Structure 1
Amino acid sequence: MGQPQEKEEVFGNAWLTMEEEEKRRAFEFAAGYIEFLNRAKTERETATFIERAVHEQGFLDLGKCETLKAGQKVYVKQKGKIAAVAVIGQEPLEKGFNIIASHLDSPRLDLKPRPLYEKDGMVWLKTHYYGGIKKYQWTAIPLALHGIVVRKNGTKLIVRLGDQECEPVFTVPDLLPHLAREQMEKKMSEAVSGEGLNLLAGNIPGSEAEKEAIKAAILKRLRQEYGIEEEDFASAELEAVPVFRARDVGFDRSMVGGYGQDDRVSVYTSLKAILEVEEPPRTAMCIFADKEEIGSTGNTGLRSYFLENLAAEMLFRVGQREYLSVRRALASSRALSADVNAAVDPNYEQVFEKMNNSFLGRGVVITKYTGSKGKYDANDANPEFVAWVRQLFDANGVVWQVGELGKVDEGGGGTVAQYLARYGMEVLDCGVALLAMHSPFEVASKADIYHAYKGYKAFLMAGDPTYEPSWW
């Protein structure tokens, strides 16, 4: 027998299910989301945005709370790059949390610790790319520098240079086509090397008598205008991100285009959802983690003990001081790993299996498993939990679809789901479908963004499931 014919119309267009008032709300929601994308282009900026948003809604720093009670709203922010927001539920904490976990980081170019050099009459900044990128996409576009510089005396300089029209930008020049015959015969992955992603940063010499006169002039400017010495780059965290602003896409303005939607679309939708949660049955929690794009490593990624320590701190404040309570609470929890999926792109339809891949405009995507080449490195959600989420979404008018990440042998990818599931909790991947994922300009449907927010809010407010996930 031959292969089954691919069928596109399994799940309907979300716009067709929405009344005019709901469409209006979706567009209004997307306007706030676009503003957020333009304000928060790095993980530090996103964590700061979250902190300010929860402060305005009366959330308290958990570290300043001696006790916790039902209905109380708290947050945690650590090292400027990982955060959690929670609303204490009516049920005891030991019965578990409803967790939505997203990540703050996005692919980009990071400056190296010794970035500045002069060559052929120009000054350049060396970079090391972060996360999975197509290197050629980062050439010949305007880039801004965002981040911090920590001077030797401990003072910090917040950097955000290139976003305003009056500010300079940086760029990685590409090779002109007239001389690129050999380059264009290479594989796309080899046409631009990692060491070739150097930012153009200056051209005027200070004095011909000086050695490396242009670099010396740039260093003088950095010293005079910002108080930065060359060695301060060693203790800096500077990221080159696209300058262009997030915008409406299409004649009908039905889509959002912009940098960093993987995974700030999940950050924004889950944050907006938890800000509206009042007195949930179970404790509602949103986690906003760093380092997902490079394996969730380090002390700000979800492979750290951040979640475990957070659960211990919360249980301590309600009188539960045995470590067993922490393990029970996490094992009894349920979570949505809020991350994006790939929308079918008809320009590259050969890599998609349309019966099981997600589409733009068909609602939030639930992904039973991720991984690659035989589900390697995946969390594979239990069908009982998937059925419960389906029922929950249907009951709350959330339009949803299923999705895998392309054909089985084309590649794949992972999320933070496996790092949550190791505690024994039920976990399902759930997020928005994107076109051009990991590019400097990703595209999402406003309908999908809005239904992700609706789905996350319903999940955070949900009570006990109809199945029993705990084994004790």
Structure 2
Amino acid sequence: MEAKNVWATYNENQIQELNEINERYKTCLNQGKTERECVALAVDMAERAGYRNIETILAKGTSLKAGDKVYAVCMSKMIALFRIGEKPISEGMNILGAHIDSPRIDVKQNPLYENEGLAYLDTHYYGGIKKYQWVAQPLSLHGVIVKKDGSAVKVTVGEEESDPVFVITDLLIHLAQEQMEKKASKVIEGEKLDLLIGNRPIEQVEGLDKAEKDAVKKHVMEILKEKYEMEEEDFYSAELEIVPAGKARDCGIDRSMVLSYGQDDRVCAFTSLFAMLDVEQAKRTGCCLLVDKEEIGSVGATGMHSKFFENTVAELVALTEGESELKVRRALARSKMLSSDVSAAYDPMFAEAFEKRSSAFFANGLTFNKFTGSRGKSGSNDANAEYLGELRRVMDEAGVAYQFSELGRVDIGGGGTIAYIMANYGMEVIDSGVAVLNMHAPYEVTSKADIYEAVKGYRAFLKLD
């Protein structure tokens, strides 16, 4: 069984739709480089499509009916969108679930220091990264600073042409003999990932001969205070993320691919969101769930292990069928889900890491992973054959190109998604997403054809009876 490159199958209208979806996707990647930015973007898109905040509905005490569209947000980092179906929610939902956090470098809470005339921000990396990939390239700073009075200041530096950028330095090759002999995991160590942000000292008070201590650090704080009305102590209540600077770009002389930061897993998050906003009517309630913290185990209040989704479903059941814990449990157990997460694309430059017959290939369509995990399927959800048969029928009827794969060779590594967490409710779940090259690197690569097929597949799934 061999999947085929789908580019040759498209007609002129399909190519036009493919290009429109990918331009829209690249715009979303540029605007959503952090989980907070992704949620803000999703809220804006949802409200323009007629979705209402569930908090407003609860405050008014109104009920919901078939066709109504609502969303709920958790701590600005997690969002669930629902379109109420014709059937009761207790009969189950069709859920698209993706994560919007990506590997990155975070700024610590007491970060600013000066060392030999250079000012740095102390950092701690987030998620699984090859640390050596993050040095010697332009980086930007995104996030929020929250003051003691509760006011919040948004920070984005390094994305505009007129902005400065930042860098993590590397050792020059002329002096790197010992460094080059280290294991890849030790070439750059975690505490060496500090961000270089300044070198110019604060202007000295006239008449003083002695240079002021930490003059470069003080100049940095002077700039931050002027721009953000920020004191150094405000770092304590700031969330600042370091990501690659620059926009998503077409990749390849044929413009067939997308190169960008954060495509794991925003390629699945945004395609799921597109599909959710496109589908207006269906018998079952549709849901698009975009979550945080997947890269570090889905923990915390905004991760999939939290009760946010379950609590929101309980509110929806109460607003449509009346309050009932049993109906909430039924709704979750009878639901069907695509855990929309990326898969590893076959890379012929590293063929030894893959088993070719069970690999995902660029431009072969939406990828299904029956299981993930590592070695003996450890930590994996393993989807039921009956569910796979149903999905094959749905995708074939909708003309969606798809493929089945595993995450590399057995025993060589592995990974996980949010699928196993949702499966705890007893619902049918399978991993389904877009194949990616350079996964977890500062810049990842996807196929425009696979992005297009993902949107088509997610639309078809949301219409599943």
TM-score category, normalised to shorter length: over 0.9
- Structure 2 CA distance for aligned equivalents of residues 275 and 223 of structure 1: 41
- Structure 1 CA distance for aligned equivalents of residues 146 and 246 of structure 2: 27
Question: Which residue is equivalent to 1:278?
Answer: 280
- Structure 2 CA distance for aligned equivalents of residues 224 and 99 of structure 1: 46
Question: How far 1:285 sits from its partner (Å)?
Answer: 0.4
Counting only pairs closer than 5 Å after superposition, residues 262-301 of structure 1 correspond to structure 2 as 262-301=264-303
Amino acid at match of 1:33: Y
Question: Which residue is equivalent to 1:378?
Answer: 380
Q: 1:49 aligns with which of 41, 58, 65?
A: 41
Question: Which residue is equivalent to 1:189?
Answer: 185
- 1:203-242: CA deviations, max 9, x gaps? 1112353221111121122112211111111100000010
- Structure 2 CA distance for aligned equivalents of residues 194 and 224 of structure 1: 31
Give unmatched runs, 5+ long, in structure 2: 205-209
SS for the counterpart of 2:358 is coil
- Structure 2 CA distance for aligned equivalents of residues 305 and 17 of structure 1: 44
Question: How far 1:71 sits from its partner (Å)?
Answer: 0.7
Question: Which residue is equivalent to 1:221?
Answer: 223
Amino acid at match of 2:312: L
Question: How far 1:321 sits from its partner (Å)?
Answer: 1.3
Question: Which residue is equivalent to 1:314?
Answer: 316
Question: Which residue is equivalent to 1:354?
Answer: 356
- Structure 1 CA distance for aligned equivalents of residues 68 and 286 of structure 2: 11
Note if 1:333 corresponds to 2:325: no
Question: Which residue is equivalent to 1:169?
Answer: 165
Question: Which residue is equivalent to 1:145?
Answer: 141
Question: Which residue is equivalent to 1:411?
Answer: 413
Q: Which moved more, 1:108-117 or 1:208-217?
A: 208-217
- Structure 1 CA distance for aligned equivalents of residues 321 and 93 of structure 2: 17
SS for the counterpart of 2:223 is helix
CA contact under 8 A between 1:150 and 1:157: conserved in structure 2? yes
SS for the counterpart of 1:317 is helix
Counting only pairs closer than 5 Å after superposition, residues 244-255 of structure 1 correspond to structure 2 as 244-255=246-257
- 1:56-114: CA deviations, max 9, x gaps? 01111112222110011111112100001111001111101000000110010000001
Question: How far 1:17 sits from its partner (Å)?
Answer: 2.4
- Structure 2 CA distance for aligned equivalents of residues 63 and 164 of structure 1: 35
Note if 1:90 corresponds to 2:86: yes
Note if 1:72 corresponds to 2:68: yes
Question: Which residue is equivalent to 1:468?
Answer: none
Amino acid at match of 1:371: G
Note if 1:11 corresponds to 2:3: yes
Q: 1:61 aligns with which of 46, 53, 74?
A: 53
Counting only pairs closer than 5 Å after superposition, residues 101-140 of structure 1 correspond to structure 2 as 101-140=97-136
- Structure 2 CA distance for aligned equivalents of residues 389 and 242 of structure 1: 37
CA contact under 8 A between 2:88 and 2:321: conserved in structure 1? no
Amino acid at match of 2:405: G
CA contact under 8 A between 2:105 and 2:126: conserved in structure 1? yes
- Structure 2 CA distance for aligned equivalents of residues 445 and 343 of structure 1: 10
SS for the counterpart of 1:355 is helix
Question: Which residue is equivalent to 1:387?
Answer: 389
- Structure 1 CA distance for aligned equivalents of residues 383 and 251 of structure 2: 34
Question: How far 1:426 sits from its partner (Å)?
Answer: 0.2
Question: Which residue is equivalent to 2:207?
Answer: none
Question: How far 1:24 sits from its partner (Å)?
Answer: 2.1
CA contact under 8 A between 1:296 and 1:303: conserved in structure 2? yes
- 1:119-172: CA deviations, max 9, x gaps? 011001111000011101100011110000001121111000111111111100
Amino acid at match of 2:458: Y
CA contact under 8 A between 1:135 and 1:193: conserved in structure 2? yes
CA contact under 8 A between 2:340 and 2:431: conserved in structure 1? yes
SS for the counterpart of 1:181 is coil
- Structure 2 CA distance for aligned equivalents of residues 34 and 225 of structure 1: 29
Question: How far 1:278 sits from its partner (Å)?
Answer: 1.6
- Structure 1 CA distance for aligned equivalents of residues 220 and 5 of structure 2: 54
- Structure 1 CA distance for aligned equivalents of residues 180 and 348 of structure 2: 24
Amino acid at match of 1:15: W
Question: How far 1:35 sits from its partner (Å)?
Answer: 1.0
Note if 1:39 corresponds to 2:3: no
Amino acid at match of 2:396: D
- Structure 1 CA distance for aligned equivalents of residues 215 and 55 of structure 2: 51
- Structure 2 CA distance for aligned equivalents of residues 353 and 225 of structure 1: 53
CA contact under 8 A between 1:210 and 1:216: conserved in structure 2? no
- Structure 2 CA distance for aligned equivalents of residues 309 and 443 of structure 1: 36
- Structure 2 CA distance for aligned equivalents of residues 260 and 221 of structure 1: 29
- Structure 1 CA distance for aligned equivalents of residues 292 and 281 of structure 2: 28
Question: How far 1:244 sits from its partner (Å)?
Answer: 2.0
Question: How far 1:367 sits from its partner (Å)?
Answer: 0.4
Question: How far 1:425 sits from its partner (Å)?
Answer: 0.1
Question: Which residue is equivalent to 1:5?
Answer: none
Q: 1:439 aligns with which of 438, 441, 448?
A: 441
- When normalised by structure 1's length, the TM-score is 0.95
Question: How far 1:10 sits from its partner (Å)?
Answer: 1.1
Q: Which moved more, 1:9-18 or 1:99-108?
A: 9-18
SS for the counterpart of 1:299 is coil
Question: How far 1:276 sits from its partner (Å)?
Answer: 1.4
- Structure 2 CA distance for aligned equivalents of residues 37 and 78 of structure 1: 21
Question: How far 1:27 sits from its partner (Å)?
Answer: 1.5
Question: Which residue is equivalent to 1:6?
Answer: none
SS for the counterpart of 2:98 is strand
SS for the counterpart of 1:298 is coil
- Structure 2 CA distance for aligned equivalents of residues 22 and 209 of structure 1: 66
SS for the counterpart of 1:284 is strand
- 1:322-357: CA deviations, max 9, x gaps? 211111110000000000000011111100001001
